[in-house]
Structure 1
Amino acid sequence: MNDQHHFKFSTGVLAYPIFFVLTIWFVFWFEVRFGFNFSKYGIYPQTLKGLRGVVFSPFIHGSIQHLYHNSIPLFVLSAALFYFYRPIAWKVLCFGIIVSGFLTWCIGRPSYHIGASGLIYLLVSFIFFKGVFAKYYRLIALSLLVVFLYGSMIWYALPLEEGVSWEGHLSGLITGLLFALTFRRSIAKPKKYVWEQTDYNEADDPFLKHFDENGNFIEKINPEVEQEQPAINYTFKEKKD
């Protein structure tokens, strides 16, 4: 199944992103309310135990500020994903978490890497490059909007600030690009009109038949060959007593 379809709004466009954001808030509330610390379930690179963080790390945040800053872009970008790329949205999310998380596990520093920011970088990268590859004005406009809103995030994919998992951000960017290339054949296309089809024939177009060779409008079309109407014969029969 590809994503060559008309963009349609559905409840999932908002419901799934809201559910995901509420889930990460619930996890943080659970930690604070019951005194847990789930940071040890994050990605710890090059350790077998740290592999569990590939799945768990996007749901774990170290502070309320960390959670807040991730919530808005996560909602906006995932909603855009489900609206414009609905048939492949779950593949991008699920496989994206695994691939970007594993890449972080491979290249990361020996520390716990937590947060949904890697997934956010994945969505930014995927939506941007997918729109560029599509060469379709709606998706290109979406790419430009993503750059306008989140383009400055690219600096956090470099080792410029302490305490920031630039490895997770970089892994998300790389994974998003790889996914945009992988799903390149599944690019949304605008609906083609009849006259844009390859087998279109002007002579068969009922609308164009109303115009003569000089472009004048013909209100009534006279058929080239009139079909003979079958004659109706009436036979009078005398009524018998």
Structure 2
Amino acid sequence: MATRMTRLLSDSRTALFTMLGIQAVIWSVQVLNWLDDYGLSREFGLRSEQLGDLPEMFTSPFLHFSWEHIEANSWPLFVLGFLAAVRGMQKFLLASLVIMVSGGLTVWLLESSNTVTAGASGMVYGYLGYVVLRGLLDRKVLDAVVGVVVAVLYSSLLIGVLPVAQGVSWLGHLGGLIGGLAAAVLLRNRTPGPVAPAPASASASAPNSPGTALLKQLDDLGI
């Protein structure tokens, strides 16, 4: 149990510093962008239907069009990104890549011609979908509870995947959400395959092992 708790604390610390670093980058870029009259957003934002702009799907999440824009995205990005990263950086990075590609391709394929899209909101929706569905698929009580709480607290965000607000990239939101759900499925914990039966002498002593029973209970709790 001590080992599991130590690992959880270590992963939480790594996730915290990761999200603080991402926030530092986004806000530093925002200052430069503001000084440049948001020229960075116009130059490195994602333009639909232009093949040469496809790489901008990896830069547009770090750019915004106003202080209000970045303020609206920062807090949910930090919270949901932390929850997405707390179970391991490798899965977090892969999930982030899937979300970027899914959201970027959705905008590039379906957004109005020559529209420039930028902002971290697609990542917010992606992490939302990833955290909620991961909790259900991994069958860990702790992750499932976190997923349910997140779904309740952020359910109002789902209106953002509908074309109801002027000047908001609902396609980016929808593509990000789809990417997050896909990442949860692709990166879910796989059920171990069947284990060959142990010799009779070993299996006879297994039920009497309190350590084995304790580890199984902790695993079932998602700790």
| TM-score over 0.5 for the pair | yes
1:163 pairs with 2:163: no
Q: Which of 95, 100, 110 does residue 98 from structure 2 map onto?
A: 95
* Other structure's SS at 1:61 match: coil
Partner residue of 2:29?
27
Q: Which of 35, 45, 54 does residue 51 from structure 1 map onto?
A: 54
Q: State the TM-score, normalizing by the size of structure 1.
A: 0.72
**Aligned 1:1-241 pairs, distance under 5 A:** 8-10=8-10, 11-40=13-42, 41-110=44-113, 111-186=115-190, 199=203, 201=205, 204-205=208-209
Q: Which one-letter code corresponds to 1:38 in the other structure? A: L
Matches of 1:200 and 1:95, distance apart in 2: 46
CA 1:206 to 1:168, structure 2 compared with 1: closer, same or farther past 3 Å? closer
> Identity of counterpart residues, as a percentage?
26
Matches of 1:171 and 1:203, distance apart in 2: 49
Matches of 2:68 and 2:190, distance apart in 1: 37
Q: Report if the CA contact (8 A) 1:42-1:52 is conserved.
A: no
Q: State the TM-score, normalizing by the size of structure 2.
A: 0.78
Q: Which one-letter code corresponds to 1:8 in the other structure? A: L
Gaps of 5+ in 2: 192-201, 212-223
CA 1:135 to 1:34, structure 2 compared with 1: closer, same or farther past 3 Å? same
The CA deviation string for residues 131-190 of structure 1, in whole angstroms up to 9 with x for no partner, is 111222111111112112211111110111111100000001111111111112358xxx
Matches of 2:169 and 2:140, distance apart in 1: 34
Partner residue of 1:236?
none
Of Structure 1 and Structure 2, which has the larger fraction of its residues in helix? 2
Q: Report if the CA contact (8 A) 1:128-1:142 is conserved.
A: yes
Gaps of 5+ in 1: 188-197, 208-241
